[in-house]
Amino acid sequence: MNGLEGWDWAVIGLYFLGLGAVVWWSSKRQNTSEDYFLAGRNIGWFAVGASLFASNIGSEHIVGLSGQGASTGMAMAHWELHAWVMIMLAWIFVPFYYRSRVFTMPEFLERRFSPTARWMLSVVSLVAYVFTKVSVTVYAGALVFQTLLPDIQITLLGTTYGPFWVGAFLTVILTGIYTVFGGLRAVLYTDSAQAIILLLGSFFITFFGLKLLGGWGNLVSICKADAAQFALWRPLSDPDFPWLGILIASPIIGIWYWCTDQYIVQRTLAAKSLRSARRGAIWGAFLKVWPVLIFLVPGMIGYALYKQGELDIPLAADSTLKGDMVFPTMVTTLLPPGLRGLVVGGLLAALMSSLSSLFNSSASLFTIDIYEKICPGRSERHLVTVGRVATGVVVVLGMAWIPVMHYIGEGGLYLYLQSVQGYLAPPITAVFLLGLFWKRMNAKGAVAGLGIGFIAGMAKLTIQACEGAGYLTNLPWLAAVGKFNFLYASGVLSAISVVVIVVVSLLTERPSAEQIVGLTYATATAEQKRQNRASWNFVDVFGTIVVLGLVLAMYVYFSVWLR
């Protein structure tokens, strides 16, 4: 396994110099809360779309998704073909969000429903960010450092920290610094460059891997020998990825993540116009088509190279491949100097991009949805300062959670992340969809749906964790709940949330016409409809058709590729 050489360090150094220049420039333009949290609402469509893509593709994607490709083939591709959901963001959700001039998704819920709904979503989102996204992203990034720099050590206060902890802490601290000082403008502009690095780096991994393997035909032949493991669609008898469960859970998680999550939607709110917001989402959807080929397929290439004896991938205690070590092993083994540094820069870019987006979104949620409600009337500079302090707190909490993440294990990070999101997403997806399309839904229905859905999801997660730890051996019925497939569980949680919302809304008072004017499709004003129509043209329609066509082509090919 090759280490980093002089050219590699030169490329990485140039990347960080460029990053520092952007942060310095951005820090000079943070005078108001709108500047800090939404980059002054003056971002073009290219930067919006690139940021959507780069914020989504973190180290848990590059490391975890390649690991899933090596261990479960195309099973997780359904989550990476969510470009069609981003088209929903562009055409269905963005017009309402952008015209409302809100900073955050909880703020939108307050306008549609009530302050209570806003608080609930803010708290749930902050908890989810700290204990899932930040921790999983950092854990995956630290795993990369452990592979790329196995000999690095630092001794502090008599304790020696190895490459895992050095990489985790350094990356979190550096990302926190540039997010605190640069605000969303720094996040957006660095994301644009990082998106290009991610695509180039992963393209080279795929290119060199296929070249060593002997071409795409050899990959198909090797995977065809174990078609059940690498197939896109699995039978209903499959314990992990039954096709019906995929069809139920994947859209629920996708709509929550791409259309309602502050972490993602904040990029479209920063656009300089509704047209830029929509077109940015369409551009991001086009970029989102490719992770299957540049992140998931390399994992399968790594598996094939291992089967041919061309790649030495570490094994777990049960003699199976350590999936999350596949991509970093391919980086250090296959690439020549210079290119290796470029890909390492891409890995760092992915990690820092996702973390910076999380930090900024968390600061926005806390400052706008919680602090400003408790302490109204504060100056713009004061709110920016509070946002920076909140970002620092999230950084500290993310670092504090790293030791706990060590007990998750060395594999299945991406699957773990999707299962947790499968328990968080249903009530939020239900509230936003029904809120836009059913004008009879009221605040009490929204609060009940969010509250009961969240409690039910956390109950499932807790029971599953207890069952996995072996605490429920004497309670077989509860253990069965813990073992219940997370895909079907996501569907059940969605059904519970929808039923609660509908029943409570119908049993309580109808929302007033003044409260919902312009906030649902049925109550959109004539002026809103005119503005919406004026915000798109043939370019947007053509881009949408291209994205949907590419998604369909991917589904058709990978549905039959092993036959």
DSSP conformation letters of 359-379: HHHHHHIIIIIIIHHHSTT--
d(CA 174, CA 356): 10
Instruction: Say if residues 129 and 394 touch (Cβ distance below 8 Å).
Output: yes
**Number of domains within the chain:** 1
Helices (H), 309-379: 326-334, 339-364, 372-374
Closest-CA residue to 276 (of 40, 54, 41) = 41
Predicted local distance difference test score (pLDDT) of residue 416? 72
Helix, strand, coil distribution of the chain in percent, nearest 5? 80, 0, 20
**Structural domain of 414:** 6-111+126-421
Instruction: Say if residues 420 and 461 touch (Cβ distance below 8 Å).
Output: yes
CATH number for the domain harbouring residue 29: 1.20.1730.10
- Within a domain: 530: no
- Within a domain: 534: no
pLDDT tens series, the chain, 563 aa: 456 677 787 877 887 777 677 666 665 555 544 444 444 456 789 888 987 887 787 666 777 788 889 888 999 899 989 999 999 999 999 988 887 777 778 888 999 999 999 888 888 887 777 767 776 777 766 776 776 667 677 766 677 767 767 777 777 776 666 666 655 455 556 666 666 776 777 788 888 889 999 999 999 999 999 898 899 999 999 988 999 999 999 999 999 999 998 778 888 888 888 999 999 999 999 999 988 888 889 899 999 999 888 888 877 766 777 777 788 788 888 888 887 887 777 677 667 766 776 776 777 778 877 788 788 878 877 887 887 787 777 767 766 766 654 443 344 567 777 888 888 899 999 999 999 999 999 999 999 999 999 999 989 888 887 887 778 888 888 989 888 999 999 999 999 999 999 999 999 999 998 889 888 988 888 888 898 899 999 999 999 999 999 999 999 999 999 98
- Within a domain: 524: no
- Within a domain: 520: no
- Within a domain: 489: no
Predicted local distance difference test score (pLDDT) of residue 39? 45
Instruction: Say if residues 349 and 15 touch (Cβ distance below 8 Å).
Output: yes
> What angle, rounded to 10 degrees, do the helices at 486-507 and 443-468 form?
150
- Within a domain: 469: no
d(CA 464, CA 335): 41
Instruction: Say if residues 175 and 349 touch (Cβ distance below 8 Å).
Output: no
Instruction: Say if residues 96 and 519 touch (Cβ distance below 8 Å).
Output: yes
Question: How many of the other CB atoms lie within 10 Å of CB of 437?
Answer: 12
Long-range contacts formed by 511-516: CB under 8 A, 24+ apart: 511/439, 511/440, 511/441, 511/442, 511/443, 516/112, 516/439
d(CA 158, CA 413): 32
The C-alpha angle 550, 556, 559, rounded to 5 degrees, equals 135
- Within a domain: 385: yes
Instruction: Say if residues 505 and 441 touch (Cβ distance below 8 Å).
Output: yes
b/e 290-326 (16+ beta carbons within 10 angstroms → b)? bbbebbbbbbbbbbbbbeeeebebeeeeeeebbbbbb
DSSP assignment string, 433-473: HHHHH-TT--HHHHHHHHHHHHHHHHHHHHHHHHHHTTTTT
312 Cβ contact partners less than 8 Å away, ≥ 6 residues apart? 1, 306, 329, 333
